[in-house]
Chains A and B, each alone.
Chain A
Amino acid sequence: MNTRKLNFTRRQRNEEIAGYLFVIPNLLGILAFVALPILLSLILGFTKWNPMQGLGAVKFVGLEQFLTMFSDERLGAALKNNFIYTFTYVPISVALALLAAIALNKHVFCKVPLRLMFFMPYISAMVSVAYVWLILLNPEGGPVNNILMAIGVKNPPGWFTRSNSSLAGIIVVSVWHDVGYYMIIFLSALQTLPRQVYESATVDGAGPLRTFFSITLPLMASNILFVAILATMNSFKVFDQINILTEGGPGYSTNVLVYCIYHYAFKEHNIGYASAVAVLLFIIILMISGIETKLKDRFTY
C-alpha cells in the first residue's frame, strides 16, 4: 500500500525500535526459559544421558528410546488413561460450564455470589483441593459415599482405592477445579450475543430448549470449540492431583503421560527416555489441536 511508504517517517521507525526494545526482555525470558528447554527436550529424546556426568555425557542413540516405548506397559497404560481422561473430562467440563454460564447469565437470585463460588475452585491451589477431595471421596465413611448409600446406591465406588474408579475420582477433582474458568469465558461470550435474535425467537414462540439448540449453540460454536481446545490442552497437562492423590496407582490405573515423564526422569533417572515421552506428548497434543482447529474452521462462521 502506498500510504505505508509515505508514513515511514523517522519518528515511526524510532517508535518501532522502541516497541521492540520493550518486548526484548520478555522475549529473552521466553527464549531462555521456554523455547530453549523445549528444543533441548526434543533433542534429548534421541539421547541417553546421565546428568551427573555433565553435558559431555550426552550419547546419541537415535530412535532407540522410541523403540523401547512399544514394549513399555506403564507407557501403554498412560496413553490409554490419557485418552479416557481427555474424552471424559473435556465434554463434561465444557457442558457443565456452558450450562452454568447460561443459568447465571440471566437475572438469577444471588447471581454474583454464585459466579464467585463457581470460580473460586479455579484460583485455589490444587494441592489443598486434592487433600480435601481425598477426605470427601474416602470410600468408607467419606461424605460422598455416605450420600450415595443414603440415596440407595448399594456399592458406591472405591474412588482412589480401586483401579476401576481411581481415574473417575481424578476426573471429578479436575472438573470441579476447572469448570469455573470455562464458565467465565462462556459468560463473557454470552454477553456479546445479540439480544434481538432472542427477542424475535420469543415472539415466534420458541421454547427454552429450542432457543438453546437453534440459537445459542450455533452462535457460541466458535467459543465452545475454543474452550474445548483449552480444556484438551489442560487435560493433557494433568499432574498435580495425580501426584498427590494416587501417584499413578493403584497399579497403573491413574498413570498419565506427564506422570510418566516425571517418573522416568526423577525416579528412574532416565532423562533420555523421559524426553522421548515428552516428544510423544508434544506430537499428540499437536495432532489433537490441529484436528480441533480444523473442526473450528469447518463449524463456525
Chain B
Amino acid sequence: MMDAGHVARSSKSLLHEGEGVKMKKTMLFSLAFLMAFFPVFANGQKEASAPKTETKTVIHFYDWAPTDLSIIEDFNKENPDIEVQFHSIPDNGGEKLVQLDILAMGGGDIDVMPGSDGEQMVRMKNGIYAPLDAFIERDGIDMEASFGDILSYARYNGVTYGYPFRSTVEGIWYNKDMFDAAGIPYPDGTWTWDEYKEIARKLTHGEGANKVFGTYTHTFNGQWAPVGNEKESWYGEDGLSNINSEAFSIQLERRKELDTLGYQLSFSQIQATKATQAAYFLGGKCAMVQAGSWLVQNIKDQENYPHSFRIGVAPLPRFDETVEDSNYFSVAASILAIPANSEHKEEAWRFIRYMVEQGASRIAGSGNYPCYRPAYNDELIATFIEGSGLELEDIRPLFGTMSSVSQKPTGAAAAEYQQSMQEQTPLFFNGEKSSQDVLKQIQKITDTAIKKEQSGK
C-alpha cells in the first residue's frame, strides 16, 4: 500500500511531465471548439452566392391560398431569364400579412407579396410597397377597363401600389336543402333586411348541441357594415368619416339583434369558440352565411369539409324598400405588390402581370375569384365552380354587373378607420358601450387622422 508521501511525490512528478501535455491538450481543445464554428460560416457563404452562380434572376413569391403551381412553371418556361420560387405560408388571419412584413422589413428575400382584406391600405401608407404607376404607364394598361371599381383597393393617395389579384365578392350563401324543407323560396337580390331576418327566424331550430341557426355573420372587421353602405358612403362630402350616420347606426344595431334574438351564433361565442364561416355552414350548423367567394375553395374541399347538401348564393339583402338596386354584393380585392426594397422590381412586375392576366383561369380553378375582367367568360366560371356541386346559373351573378358596396373603407386614413373599427366594435357587441358611443369614437379617431393627413404630417 502506498503511503501518502509516495503518492504525493509520484503525482508531483507526473504534474511536472504532464505540464507540457496538459498545455497541448488545452490548446487542441480550444482549436477544435473554434473550428466547430467554421462550417456555420461556410454554409452561410454558400447560400448567399447561389443565385449569382446561375444567370437567372430569382423572384420569391409568397402566398397563403392554394395555388396552381402550373402557372409558375409556365412563367418560368416562357421567361428563361427569371426563376420564380413559390413559398406557401399558413392562412392564420391577420398574422399572415405581418409575417410577410417582418420578412420584407428585415431585408429578407421577398419580391412579390400579396395584400388582402383591406389591410394593404396601411402598408401603402407606411411605405412597405413600391409604387407601380411607372410600370403601368410604360406598359399602357387601361386599369379602369381591366379592374373597375376595385381599384380603390390598389391605390392610396393617388398612387397605385398593387395590381388587383383576387377579389372577395361577398353575398349570402344558403343551404338549399334547408330552404326546401322549410318551404321557403330561394332568395334573390330583391329581399330586404327584414325579410332576411324573418327567413333566419324561420330556419332557426333545435336546442343545445343540435341547434341550427338561421344565419351566420362572422366577427371579421366590418362584416356588419356592407348593407349600411348601400345607403350611406364611408366618407361624407367634407372628406371626413361618415360612420356615425343613420344607416350605419341602424345596421350595427340590426346585426346585434341577430345575436340577441338567437338567429345566429353570438359575436362573443364566435370569438370564444374560434368558430369559422366554412366550418359552421358546411357543417350544417347554420342555414345561411354571409361569406365571400373564397367559400368555393372550402366547398370544393370535401376532405376537410364533408357535406352533401346543395348550396346557392344570393346578393346581400337591401337595406330597405328605398334601395332600388337588387344585386348588391360586398367587394374587396387583394393585390400583388412589390416590397419597396426588392432588388428585382422589373422581373417581379413581369411575373405579377402574368399571374393576374394569364393566370386568371387558374386562379378561378383553385376556387378564388380573379380580378382581371377581360378574362371573364362562362368557361372561367365553370372552372371556378368545378368540383363544388354549385350550378352555373347560381354563380353567374357573382361575375356579372353588380351593385357593389365596399367591405371596408379604403380612402383617407383607411388604416386608422379600419383599426378603430376593429378595436371599438367588440365593445358594442359585448354590451359595454352603446352603438352611438362606439361609432362616435371611431369617427373621432378617424377624423383626427384624416385631418393630420390633410395638413400634411
Which residue numbers of A lie inside 8 Å of B, CB to CB? 11, 14-15, 18, 21-22, 25, 50-54, 131, 134-135, 138-140, 142, 158, 160-163, 248-252, 266-271
Contact = CB atoms under 8 A, between A and B. Distances in A.
A196 B82 CA distance: 80
9 contacts: A11-B23, A50-B127, A52-B105, A52-B340, A131-B274, A138-B272, A140-B272, A163-B427, A266-B98
Nearest to A263: B419
A161 B341 contact: no
Contact of A53 (B29, B266, B340, B426): B340
3 closest A-B pairs by beta carbon, nearest first, are A269-B126, A21-B30, A52-B340
B198 interface: no
Interface in B92-120: 98, 101-102, 104-107
Given A160-B271, A268-B122, 20 more contacts: A18-B29, A18-B30, A21-B30, A22-B30, A22-B33, A52-B127, A53-B340, A53-B341, A54-B341, A131-B274, A135-B272, A140-B268, A161-B430, A162-B432, A251-B427, A266-B101, A266-B102, A269-B122, A269-B123, A269-B128
Chain B CB within 10 A, most for which of A14, A22, A52, A158: A52
B27 A18 contact: yes
Contact of B426 (A11, A15, A249): A249
A269 B121 CA distance: 12
A163 B432 contact: yes
A271 B101 CA distance: 12
Given A21-B34, A268-B122, A52 B26 contact: no
B30 A251 contact: no
Contact of A139 (B102, B272, B423): B272
A85 B30 CA distance: 47
B268 A161 contact: yes
A267 B272 contact: no
Interface residues of B, number: 41
Given A22-B30, A266-B101, A269-B105, A50 B126 contact: yes
B34 to A, nearest CB: 7
Nearest to A21: B30
B279 to A, nearest CB: 16
A22 B36 CA distance: 12
Contacts of A252: 423
Nearest to A10: B23
Contacts of B122: 267-269
A53 B105 CA distance: 9
B126 A268 contact: yes
B272 A142 contact: yes
Given A21-B30, A25-B37, A250 B126 contact: no
Chain A interface helix/strand/loop/mixed? helix
Contact of B432 (A51, A134, A250, A267): A250
B273 interface: yes
Chain B CB within 10 A, most for which of A22, A135, A250: A250
Contacts of A160: 271-272
A229 B146 CA distance: 62
A52 B341 contact: yes
B452 interface: no
A54 B128 CA distance: 12
A57 to B, nearest CB: 9
Contacts of B98: 266-267
Contacts of A249: 423, 426
A131 B272 CA distance: 10
Interface string B336-349: 00011100000000
B375 to A, nearest CB: 32
A52 B338 CA distance: 11
Contacts of A50: 126-127
Nearest to B274: A134
A268 B105 CA distance: 12
Nearest to A49: B105
A18 B22 CA distance: 11
Contacts of A139: 268, 272
B268 A14 contact: no
A15 B26 contact: yes
B271 to A, nearest CB: 7
A252 B34 CA distance: 50
Contacts of B123: 269
B269 interface: yes
B223 interface: no
A18 to B, nearest CB: 4
B34 A251 contact: no
B272 A161 contact: yes
B378 interface: no
B424 interface: yes
B430 A14 contact: no
Interface string B399-419: 000000000000000010001
Nearest to B425: A250
A158 B106 CA distance: 40
A135 B275 CA distance: 12
Given A25-B34, A52-B104, A251-B424, A18 B127 contact: no
A17 B105 CA distance: 41
Given A51-B106, A269-B105, A18 B26 contact: yes
Contacts of B81: none
B273 A52 contact: no
Nearest to A262: B98
Contacts of A53: 127, 340-341
Contacts of B431: 162
B19 interface: yes
B27 to A, nearest CB: 7
Contacts of A22: 29-30, 33
Given A11-B22, A249-B423, A138 B105 contact: no
A166 B419 CA distance: 20
Contacts of A54: 107, 341
B384 to A, nearest CB: 33
A251 B423 contact: yes
Interface string B374-396: 00000000000000000000000
A22 B104 CA distance: 36
Contacts of B266: 140
Interface in B67-108: 98, 101-102, 104-107
A248 B273 CA distance: 18
Contacts of B269: 138, 140
B341 A158 contact: no
B101 A269 contact: yes
Contacts of B104: 52
A134 to B, nearest CB: 7
Contact of A14 (B26, B34, B126, B426): B26
Nearest to A18: B26
B426 A250 contact: yes
Contacts of B101: 266, 269
